[in-house]
Copies of this chain bind each other. A is one copy, B any other.
Amino acid sequence: MDYIKIVAPVTISNLSCGFDVLGLCLDIAGDEIVVRKIEEKIVRITSMTGADLPLENQKNVAGIAALALLREWDTDYGFEIAITKKIKVGSGMGSSAASSAGVVFAINELLGRPYETRELIRFAMHGEKLASGSAHADNVAPALLGGFTLVRSYDPLEVIRIDGPEDLFATIIHPHIETRPADARSVLKHTVTLAHAAEQWGNLGGFIAGLYTKDYGLIGRSLSDKIVEPIRGVHIPGFDQLKSAAQAHGALGSGISGSGPSVFALSKGEATARKVGLAMSSVYQSLQLNFDLYISPINAGGIKIHEKR
């Protein structure tokens, strides 16, 4: 096998109560990545369609992630990478994670799978470090593993994968303003009150319990964030209105997707998720803001292989 084409999915990180630790994989077709073996022992990004991103390995999240893998798994050949970006950069929908996770997944396939999928997380994290300044795993882990993921620990890295309830759907709305993840991170405070932190870990625990017990109400009530949302939310146009609209139309809960500006809601059932999407769209229509809207079930499988030969 010397050719592979994969599609790396949209992911939602943080999920309100789990800053830097929680993530969710969606069934929205994301970045298309083609990787070919080449004789020359180098990694070369040959094209980048749909986004104005550098092709140099050291400046590109996919290049950085690929090199991290190949520093550890030596080969006497190389790879050419072509990326079609479908997830907008700076949207809060895991754009950098899709490219980072996608390329290491694809190369691992071409290498004959020397690594289990979950071992690829640490390579993909190098891409995240380039994108946001922080080697977080809460997008790359769900992109690779599918479902919900919890980063129990970063040092050593331990990721727990959890299935969500089957009838859970996400609504994501992406207003067309760009936030660079590094900027979104720099606005955060370095300290939080112990009271807010304890409230947050109560909610995180409730969220995890809700996933295992398939308790939709508990999942929704746990989507609470007094730490990051009050700081980042003010930079998202119509944020409070979006949340109110989601709640009024039956969403279990809502919050900022990743570092924003996209806003997500979780709902029980596709019909409710669509109603919530319409209500959130109305908010941006009335504000005369351009946006994209997505409705998706949970993607249990992560990255999809479209072709290999």
A194 is an interface residue with CB less than 8 A from chain B? yes
Q: Once the chains bind, are B199 and A197 in contact (CB under 8 Å)?
A: no
Q: Once the chains bind, are B205 and A21 in contact (CB under 8 Å)?
A: yes
| A222 to B152 CA separation, bound complex (whole angstroms) | 7
| A199 to B194 CA separation, bound complex (whole angstroms) | 13
Q: Once the chains bind, are A199 and B153 in contact (CB under 8 Å)?
A: yes
- What residues on B are CB-neighbors of A191 within 8 Å? 191-194
A202 is an interface residue with CB less than 8 A from chain B? yes
Other 6 A-B pairs with CB < 8 A, given A194-B227, A208-B212: A21-B202, A160-B206, A190-B193, A192-B192, A192-B193, A205-B207
What residues make up the interface of A, taking CB atoms closer than 8 Å to B?
Answer: 17-22, 150-154, 158, 160, 162, 188-195, 197-209, 212-213, 218, 221-222, 224, 227
Q: Looking at the assembled complex, report how far the CB atom of A232 sits from the nearest CB atom of chain B, in whole angstroms.
A: 13
Q: Which 3 A-B pairs have the closest CB atoms?
A: A152-B206, A212-B212, A197-B197
| A103 to B218 CA separation, bound complex (whole angstroms) | 30
Between A and B, 16 residue pairs with Cβ closer than 8 Å are A21-B201, A150-B209, A151-B202, A154-B199, A160-B205, A160-B206, A160-B209, A188-B194, A191-B191, A191-B192, A192-B193, A192-B194, A197-B227, A205-B207, A208-B208, A212-B212
- What residues on B are CB-neighbors of A153 within 8 Å? 199, 202-203, 206, 221, 224
Task: Name the CB-closest residue of B to A162.
Answer: B209
- What residues on B are CB-neighbors of A218 within 8 Å? 152, 160
- What residues on B are CB-neighbors of A192 within 8 Å? 191-194, 197
